[in-house]
A and B are shown apart, each in its own frame.
Chain A
Amino acid sequence: MPEFSTEAQELVQRIIKRYPEGKQKSAILPVLHIAQAEFQGWLSVPVMDYVASLLKILPIEVYEVASFYSMFNLKPVGKCVIEVCRTGPCWLMGAEDVVHHIEKKLGVKEGETTKDGMFTLKTVECLAACGSAPMMQVGETYHENLSLEKVDSILNEYKTNTKEHISHWDKKHIKK
């Protein structure tokens, strides 16, 4: 069975204490985020089973939650998951062009991962940054007021600097 790092295990125990005794199932969403941070950005069945054991719940209770929420990846993803907002206000401001541009640049379609395993392109729903549309998210970072040039330089930067998987729950928040 996979196991969290010691830091992550301690963090999970602190999180479980935020809920009343016996209600540790409430910690499932934060713990699944941490699981993605610990295991290359996605949730395999063994990882979900491990989370179930940590929370003392049935594996099915984890699967049914993991499959409901859009931030959980049930298949392997690239080191850097690019999530472009596609909803109304971003669409008005040119999100189509951004998606089209990234598809061309990376040679993948929405939902696919580049062959080198560096990038996965996803489109997502409104991320509450409509005033700085179009925008996209990578890990916890919002990249806003995008132009195609700006997209190019952001992608180049990730390509050069990304060593390990970037997750929504950034690793730096697990370590402390």
Chain B
Amino acid sequence: MGRQLLIDNINQTGIHTLEGYRTYGGYQALEKALRMKPEDIVAEVQKSGLRGRGGAGFPTGMKWSFIAKPPGVPRHLVCNADESEPGTFKDRYLMQRKPHLLIEGMIISSFALGANLSYIYIRGEMMAQFHILQNAIDEAYAAGLLGKNILNSGFDLDLHVHCGAGAYICGEETALIESLEGKRGNPRIKPPFPAVSGVWDRPTVVNNVETIAAVVPVINISGEEYAKIGIGKSTGTKLISACGHINKPGVYEIELGVPVEEFIYSENYCGGIKDGRKLKAVVAGGSSVPILPAELILKTAKGEPRLMSYESLGDGGFATGTMLGSGGFIVMDESTSVVKNLFNFTRFYHHESCGQCSPCREGTGWMEKILRKILDGRGTIADIDLLWDIQGKIEGKTICPLGEAAAWPVAAAIRHFRPEFEEYVKNPQNIKDVKHYYRLNNLQEA
């Protein structure tokens, strides 16, 4: 197993407390950072090559360098702890066990950005972690790690945890900002980007929990050392939350570049497919990224071993590749129906569309209906083509990327598993358990 920079000591009792966290070296990076100049911290993060862990993989140091600094206008750092992308459960794990790692990262990052008021936006369902964070924040205030003149550095920071109330879209950064302002989670048109005009129209940086947490080891070991871990432009470690038909589901910290095959089959990670079944497909980076069949997730189209990195998972584009995304790694064995799984995901996106843009609001609904028709045994070959057509008319035509997130899974499932869709159309008598399935999805039985 590789180095662990985020989940090291995560199972030690008491590590969720300030004292426990300090026993294992906690807040040393903060002491170091407060002796640095803010711009040097930004430079260190740039050197580290750290990329946003929320899904898009945008270089963090570069994002920070974009923040506008109009005189007299407060700036804000907002941590995105909305973690709602199906298959992703790393942030919750980290906040549950090591809340102070996130808080330390928030203080350092706020200092680097010149923010004196920062927020952690956690999804409402994670109310237990909301209170864990609140307790940790209270501890940090009492110890002089938050508030005025932190550790005699002259730097002031107020940090608060804010809760959502159930809406996947609020993970999208501009919807999150709207939600933090007390409104419906409707994404904003960009530009202006949050770095110029974010929460309360002030310059704002939104970063994922894991991104902010990773700033701590970057400062501890230096950007240069951090960049030596991993492979190519995929530097450092990444939390992968693995689930589905595997023997050892859970959160793993990998050095980027581990072969996918090793990740799935090694006892250090997923421990192979459950019940000795065969691997059928993987959704490698959360429900939004293209599904790949076993042969393409293990090896690229060129026949090279596929690695757990931004570049290798993306190799071949969407024709034969996928994305690292949020690191939500969903494994499906040979018994899985790709069509039903797609129906479930599409129903999810339809449910979660905020409704602002018609291609997404209407398109996700149509795709759900057509998939339902196919699952009903009433589908036609033309329906499969229609699905393909609709997804193509959502992609790129919406304010926020929820449109793409809904379209890509449909495109990839048809691209790689079209015969399975055709089987539902041609031999509906073979469809099992459909009634049962409706109940779960809150549908009237046909």
Which of B83, B85, B126, B243 has most A Cβ within 10 Å? B243
Complex interface: stretch among A1-9, A84-92, A150-158: A84-92
Q: Does the CB pair B184–A65 fall under 8 Å?
A: yes
Q: Does the CB pair B200–A23 fall under 8 Å?
A: yes
Nearest B residue to A132, CB-CB: B249
B439 at the interface (CB under 8 A from A): yes
Residue in contact with A88 in the complex, picked from B162, B167, B344, CB distance below 8 Å: B344
Complex interface: stretch among B328-336, B379-387, B389-397: B328-336
A131 at the interface (CB under 8 A from B): yes
State in angstroms the CA–CA spacing of A75 and B179 once bound together.
Answer: 23
Q: Does the CB pair A70–B89 fall under 8 Å?
A: no
Q: Does the CB pair A170–B127 fall under 8 Å?
A: yes
Shortest Cβ distance from residue A59 to the other chain B in the assembled complex, whole angstroms: 14
Residue in contact with A126 in the complex, picked from B85, B131, B250, CB distance below 8 Å: B85
Q: Does the CB pair A88–B348 fall under 8 Å?
A: yes
Which of B125, B163, B179 has most A Cβ within 10 Å? B125
A89: chain B residues within 8 A (beta carbon): 86-87, 243-244, 330
B126: chain A residues within 8 A (beta carbon): 128
Q: Does the CB pair A128–B91 fall under 8 Å?
A: yes
Q: Does the CB pair A29–B163 fall under 8 Å?
A: yes
Q: Does the CB pair A68–B163 fall under 8 Å?
A: no
A126: chain B residues within 8 A (beta carbon): 84-88, 168, 287, 348
Residue in contact with A18 in the complex, picked from B125, B160, B168, CB distance below 8 Å: B160
State in angstroms the CA–CA spacing of A120 and B63 once bound together.
Answer: 44
A61: chain B residues within 8 A (beta carbon): 182
When each residue 131-158 of chain B gets 1 if its CB lies under 8 Å from chain A and 0 otherwise, what string results?
1000000000000000000000000001
Shortest Cβ distance from residue A28 to the other chain B in the assembled complex, whole angstroms: 4
Q: Does the CB pair B436–A100 fall under 8 Å?
A: yes
B287: chain A residues within 8 A (beta carbon): 87-88, 126
Q: Does the CB pair A96–B200 fall under 8 Å?
A: no
Q: Is the interface of B mostly helix, strand, loop or mixed?
A: mixed
When each residue 243-270 of chain B gets 1 if its CB lies under 8 Å from chain A and 0 otherwise, what string results?
1110001110000000000000000000
B52 at the interface (CB under 8 A from A): no
Shortest Cβ distance from residue A135 to the other chain B in the assembled complex, whole angstroms: 10
B330: chain A residues within 8 A (beta carbon): 88-89, 92, 130
Known: A128-B88, A140-B128. A99 touches B440 (CB 8 A): yes
When each residue 274-303 of chain B gets 1 if its CB lies under 8 Å from chain A and 0 otherwise, what string results?
000000000100010000000000000000
Q: Does the CB pair B182–A27 fall under 8 Å?
A: yes
B131: chain A residues within 8 A (beta carbon): 140, 170, 173
State in angstroms the CA–CA spacing of A126 and B349 once bound together.
Answer: 11
List CB contacts (< 8 Å) of B334-350 with chain A.
336, 340-341, 344-345, 348
**Can you show 16 pairs from A to B with CB atoms below 8 A apart?**
A18-B158, A26-B180, A29-B164, A64-B184, A65-B184, A70-B165, A72-B165, A88-B86, A93-B243, A93-B244, A96-B440, A100-B436, A123-B440, A125-B86, A131-B250, A140-B128
